[in-house]
Amino acid sequence: MVIAPISSVNAISTKAIENKKVSNPIASEKPEVQQKVAEQGALKSYFLGGQAATVSFGGFPVSTGGFITKKIDDVPCCCCGGRMVRNNQMGAKAAEFANINGEKLANKIEADKDFFRTPQRVVMMLAAEEARKNPSYDLAQAKNAIGGDLKEKTQNYCINSLKEADTIVKATYGENNPTSKLIAKQIEELNSGEINRRNFTDKFVKQQGSLDPITYEKVMDAAMNIPQDFSEVKRAYGQANGSSQGIARALLKQSMQTIEHIHPKSKGGPNATENFIAECGDCNWPRGNSSYMNWLKVHPEYPIKAQHHIEWFQQQIVDGNIGSEYDDYGIDVKQTLSKETNGQINLKVLTPEKINELREAKQAGEDVNVSEEIANQEQEKEEA
């Protein structure tokens, strides 16, 4: 690896300070940190195909554990959009499902279902159905009551989810529309015992252009309730044993907040903010080094949920929950994700200047909604 000369480190630091107009975490650091910056610069050069001379340093180096979302609870996953739990909060979250029974437990599961990833969510939602039928059941009893009917109950859960989405599609697009046809085919498959999400999503993504964004996302969310195959539900069910708290903990594990390297670390991706996104374990661990092109087939909801994630992130900045050193994060991560996915994920973000303006408005007591601001910005672009 080529270490960047010290002059380029200075250039990087100066540029970063100019961009941020705030105290820069790099500029005042000790020599060993400056050395690390130099290494990051070299990595960046590799990362962007050796164009270091013309590329400004957007993000700043930080460990995955030091990344800002690691300090925040209930961050939405950038990939699946599911709610995440920080590792040190896992026990406390699991304990919320202990010592409640029947209807109360069922309502709790329903309210918190987005904390569980697909196969684990299926198990929890089926347990909720059992708890509704039996007022005395706690989570352990409700889970055991699913028993030998796990597959049939999983099929019905998926079918009901698709039927709900189909009602919404038909309300706008009539009885005979291509999406409803696709849904009907998937329901037929599920009825025959075949559980295979991609049989549906591989075809459904091609209909994106013919549906309005809200309906498209509703159907996609319903599709993401279908497991990739039945074996992953069986595995989740088998791994969740013991007390109610133990079962909840086993089923929550996949929703642990982790930091994903957009360009894999093993391929030279730097430990720097511009290369980080917050993802749950379920979206980070199995991806490994596989390319985004492959990963987007497994997680076709990623582009929509990544947009929600960045809007959430920039709202936190405007609200003052994330410091101004992350004002550039949106534009940086937009560039990294777009490059890594050949433009398939093209985030809409606010510039640091706009963020600054909105933060001042917020401090002056105005209500500021980042999602609305981004929608307005895109409309203005279209009209221009």
Tokens representing residue 82 in the block: 């599911």
Q: How far is the CB of 264 from Zn ion (least distance, A)?
A: 17
How far, in Å, CA of 337 to CA of 260, rounded?
12
Of 62 and 77, nearer to Zn ion (C-beta) is 77
Min dist. Cβ of residue 72 to Zn ion (A): 16
Strand partners, 258: 279
Q: How far is the CB of 188 from Zn ion (least distance, A)?
A: 29
Nearer to Zn ion, 131 or 347 (CB): 347
Tell me the two tokens of residue 98: 């202990």
**Nearer to Zn ion among residue 125 and residue 283 (C-beta):** 283
In a 3-state reduction of DSSP, which class is residue 258? Answer: strand
CA 283, 257, 271: angle at the middle one, nearest 5? 85
Please state the closest distance from residue 117 (CB atom) to Zn ion, in A: 7
**What region does 215 belong to: left with phi over 0, alpha with psi -120 to 50, or beta?**
alpha
Number of residues that make up the chain: 384
Q: How many Å apart are CA 344 and CA 77, to the nearest integer?
A: 18
Distance separating alpha carbons of residues 60 and 333, to the nearest angstrom: 12
Closest separation in Å from C-beta 316 to Zn ion: 18
| Residue 84 or 169 with smaller CB distance to Zn ion | 84
Structure tokens, 276: 């980080």
CB of 116 to Zn ion, least distance (A): 11
d(CA 238, CA 216): 33
Which chain residues interact with Zn ion by CB under 5 A?
Answer: 77, 79-80, 82, 280, 283
Q: CB-wise, 82 or 330, nearer to Zn ion?
A: 82
* Cα separation of the two ends of the chain: 45
Pick between residue 78 and residue 182 the one whose CB is nearest to Zn ion: 78
Strands (E), the chain: 257-261, 276-280
Which of 189/279 has CB closer to Zn ion? 279
If DSSP states are collapsed to H, E and C, what string results for 323-380?
CHHHCCHHHHHHHHHHHHCCCCCCCCCCCHHHHHHHHHHHHCCCCCCHHHHHHHHHHH
- Select 218 or 309, whichever has its Cβ closest to Zn ion: 309
Judged by beta carbon, residue 159 or residue 259, the one nearer Zn ion is: 259
Q: Please report how close the Cβ of residue 254 comes to Zn ion at its closest, in angstroms.
A: 8
Output phi, psi for 277, to 5 deg.
-140, 150
Six token digits for residue 57: 């340093």
φ, ψ of residue 63 to 5 degrees: the values are -75, 160
Taking the complex as a whole, the smallest distance from the CB of residue 159 to Zn ion amounts, in Å, to 24
Q: How far is the CB of 297 from Zn ion (least distance, A)?
A: 16
In angstroms, the CA 319 to CA 313 distance is: 10
